Amino acid sequence: MATIIEPTIFELSSPGRRGVKMPASDVPEMALPPKEFLRSELPLPELAEVDVVRHYMSLSKMNYSVDSGFYPLGSCTMKYNPKINEDTCRLPGFLFTHPLQPIETVQGNLALMFEMQEWLKEISGFAGVTLQPAAGAHGEFTGVLMMAAYHKLRGDTKRTKMLIPDAAHGTNPASVGMLGMQVVTIPSDARGNVDLRALESACDDTVAGMMLTNPNTLGMFDENIEKVVALVKDCGALMYGDGANLNALLGIVRPGDLGFDVMHFNLHKTFSVPHGGGGPGSGPVGVSQRLVDFLPSPLVGILEESEGDMAPLYGFVTPKNTIGRMKAFHGHFGGGLVRSYTYIAMHGPDGLKDISQYAVLNANYLQARLRDTYKIPFDRICMHEFVMEGKFEGSDVRALDISKRLMDFNFHPPTNYFPLIVSEALMIEPTETENKDTLDRFADALIKIAEEAKTQPDLLHNAPITTKFGRMDEVKAARELVLCCWLPENYEQMA
């Protein structure tokens, strides 16, 4: 298939074309800085407004997004992001505040942050919440730092190991590694739960904690969760919950009630902040009572209680044994917190519970429709997602071929080759925002692709064939990473 390469904005440039007319200056002229601080050239593209609009419009049409179609990317929770979130996060009072403004002038923003901390506590069953971390992995790092600080303050310095199940998201061992802790992998059992015997033999007084995703990346709720937590606690370790995917638990189970000590949320998954190139992440962390004094500073607190008709005075407070600041200023306020605040406020407690029930129903519906066509290695009631094998007996069609072929049916591929414990994994998360017609069209496409795998496997090997770009060489793309598609001809001299 011929690949049409879109010209870059620099190639479209033509000397003398203009998109803007600058008004006459109405400020006094100033002397320029000394010559050595100035560039002699700044090769910017020259185009008319219409050229720029058409260029970016054409690029945007090559993109796939949750606003253009079904996006069942497991573990990523690509739910539809309601547009009212966009209205609220652009309200001038939120949009135009500066993080260094005196607190008296930003009481509304602080009230929103305070309430967000309270809501997340209530949703998760934790005693304290920080809104600072900029993403899930950053939240993990924050949580693990607090766990380390907790053991250190007690003088319990032998605890250098973190237990992590083999189904874990890759960021878990990475966050632990950043702290120089040792990762001990715990296998899953035949039902997709933590292998209790392996856990029991790994638990001793050198273990700082366990990082557990529940439901795990197979979409399985651990049937022995209470025993798992008890085993970890009995050896004096702390329990970390990876709460990136809270979409199956909202209003139903609270990790704090299950005995977890610390957990990060992904506001950009569960609470509808656009992500995947679409917006800022936000990874608040909740902690149990024994970790509240270690939370990052500052937190938003009430400095003066309300009196009569007077609202309380909100400001910043510092936890006693704080691990310090995790991020400049106060987290991703507008793009993250205001959007998620809107989302939670629009749903209310019953609405949040509906989200989880529909997310689980949708995943189970798809699993039931695909069970006879694809092998589902951990086949029981799933939570918000499930994992199936993208391969067929006697066929060389692989998960990657199936994923690419789905693009020809105008679906975003599921997550593939993760979790690592399923061979040729296809991890499907439909979310609650899809209707039955969409789920049926997706299941029909996957069933048709399974048929094609038998009758015309080359069609799958060469897919996608209807997209603007065909099959990418992913190895080359990873090995010869080109992050900038265009460099000016005299780049070497300029640098």
Ligand X SMILES: *Cc1c(COP(=O)(O)O)cnc(C)c1O
As measured in angstroms, the least distance from the Cβ of 74 to ligand X is 8
Interaction between residue 340 and ligand X (CB under 6 A)? no
Select 268 or 391, whichever has its Cβ closest to ligand X: 268
Select 130 or 171, whichever has its Cβ closest to ligand X: 171
Choose the binding region for ligand X from 110-118, 195-203, 237-245, 335-343 (rule: CB under 6 A): 237-245
Select 406 or 427, whichever has its Cβ closest to ligand X: 427
As measured in angstroms, the least distance from the Cβ of 473 to ligand X is 25
Residue among 117, 124, 245, 433 that touches ligand X (CB under 6 A): 245
Interaction between residue 171 and ligand X (CB under 6 A)? yes
Interaction between residue 188 and ligand X (CB under 6 A)? no
Residue among 113, 137, 337, 359 that touches ligand X (CB under 6 A): 137
Interaction between residue 284 and ligand X (CB under 6 A)? no
Q: Where does residue 441 rank: exposed (0-12), middle (13-18), buried (19+ CB within 10 A)? A: middle
Interaction between residue 433 and ligand X (CB under 6 A)? no
Interaction between residue 218 and ligand X (CB under 6 A)? no
Interaction between residue 117 and ligand X (CB under 6 A)? no
As measured in angstroms, the least distance from the Cβ of 8 to ligand X is 29
From CA 54, how far away is CA 242, in angstroms rounded?
Answer: 42
Question: Rounded to the nearest 10 degrees, how much is the dihedral formed by the CA atoms of 21, 25, 29, 35?
Answer: -10
Select 137 or 292, whichever has its Cβ closest to ligand X: 137
Select 266 or 362, whichever has its Cβ closest to ligand X: 266
Select 147 or 235, whichever has its Cβ closest to ligand X: 147
- Closest residue to ligand X, judged by C-beta, is 136
Residue among 151, 159, 161, 169 that touches ligand X (CB under 6 A): 169
As measured in angstroms, the least distance from the Cβ of 135 to ligand X is 4
Choose the binding region for ligand X from 241-249, 358-366, 436-444, 469-477 (rule: CB under 6 A): 241-249
Interaction between residue 266 and ligand X (CB under 6 A)? yes
From CA 141, how far away is CA 178, in angstroms rounded?
Answer: 8
Interaction between residue 75 and ligand X (CB under 6 A)? yes
Cross-strand partners of 73: 428
Residue ranges binding ligand X (CB under 6 A): 75, 135-137, 169, 171, 213, 242, 244-245, 266, 281, 283
